[in-house]
Amino acid sequence: MSQNRTVGVLGLGSMGMGVALTLVERQFDVRGFDVRQEAVDALVDAGGTSGPSPKRTVQGCPVVIVLVVNAKQVEAVLFGENGAVEGLAPGSVILQSSTIPADFARSCAARLAAHGIEMLDAPVSGGAAGAREGRLSVMGSGPAAAFDAAGPVLEAISGTVHRLGDQHGVGSTVKTVNQLLAGVHIAAAAEAMAFGVRAGVDPKVLYEVISGSAGSSWMWQNRVPHILENDYTPLSAVDIFVKDLGIVLGTGQALSFPLPVTAAAHQQFLAASAAGFGREDDSAVFKVFQKLSGIVIGSKDEDESD
């Protein structure tokens, strides 16, 4: 039984670290890996362990969760030199929770199966805060046996597990659709706030009125406060949406499916990245309009004290 409380975590960014610390708190034996030594040190300080490679870190783990930035990193940590597949025993389970194209999720599952390793296509929603508090929403698809094996880990890290059937790729597709909406809604929130301010409306009043009206969205309510406070400390960065809407548009192209509103939103995140805001909070897509037109948020006194 004690072996079932051992879990590997590959990737210790804001999402992976949040999950790792949650699992430590919930009495799991957490073995984490990241290329950034300071992240590894933080996990070890909190009570986890690590190793010199993904392979050595996850050796003997029955369950490993992967929370890295993109498909290239998934490729490296699983299948690269000293990758996780070299350290895992047949019958172990990979929870692949990074945001990746559905096609890549399917090919990963097939390649892992050749090593006798099961995969859940299990991306998550809920942000860094959800990860740290063990209340992520999991969009999972894959074999029932893998859901069972990963059950204690899923229960520890999530508030909701959506079981989307046994076919790999469904989880990542649903996540892709979620990112389409999330990205468009952030870009629309920035466009609406900038337009309203330019047209002379007090931004705080605009936020309050729209929050109770038909124009509201989860992202409006979550991200506009960052704009109002001029605080672009990254919870999730502009470049994450440059990547994620890129996945959406790439999937659309592969399916010969046009996504005109998404394409416009993607261009706005690219504009923000081009202007040097790529590593700021994704709400900094608003700063494209500030840079263009000099609109100001906050009182003049506040601006002068900056």
Q: Which residues are designated catalytic?
A: 175
Q: Using the 8-state DSSP alphabet, how is residue 281 labeled?
A: B
The beta-carbon contacts of 48-53 under 8 Å, at least 24 apart in sequence, are: 48/9, 48/20, 48/24, 52/82, 53/82, 53/83
176 binds its own copies (CB under 8 A): yes
Q: In the range 25-84, which residues lie near its own copies by CB under 8 A?
A: none
170 binds its own copies (CB under 8 A): yes
Binding part of the chain for its own copies, among 41-49, 58-66, 195-203, 273-281 by CB under 8 A, reads: 195-203
Residue 48 and residue 24 in contact, taking contact as beta carbons nearer than 8 Å: yes
When the beta carbons of 59 and 216 are compared against its own copies, the nearer one is 216
Orientation of helix 238-254 relative to helix 102-113, angle to 10° = 80
Shortest Cβ 40–its own copies spacing (Å): 29
Burial class (CB in 10 A: 0-12, 13-18, 19+), 212: exposed
When the beta carbons of 56 and 243 are compared against its own copies, the nearer one is 243
Query: End-to-end CA distance of the chain, in Å?
Result: 55
CA–CA dist 206, 270 (Å, integer): 26
Q: Return the residue of 2, 233, 257, 304 that touches its own copies, per CB under 8 A.
A: 257
Q: Return the residue of 3, 49, 253, 293 that touches its own copies, per CB under 8 A.
A: 293
Q: Using the 8-state DSSP alphabet, how is residue 274 labeled?
A: I
160 binds its own copies (CB under 8 A): yes
Footprint on this chain of its own copies (rule: CB under 8 A) = 102, 125-127, 137, 139, 160, 162, 164, 169-170, 173-174, 176-182, 184-185, 187-189, 191-192, 194-196, 198-201, 205-206, 208-210, 212-220, 222, 248, 251-252, 255, 257-265, 267-268, 289, 292-293
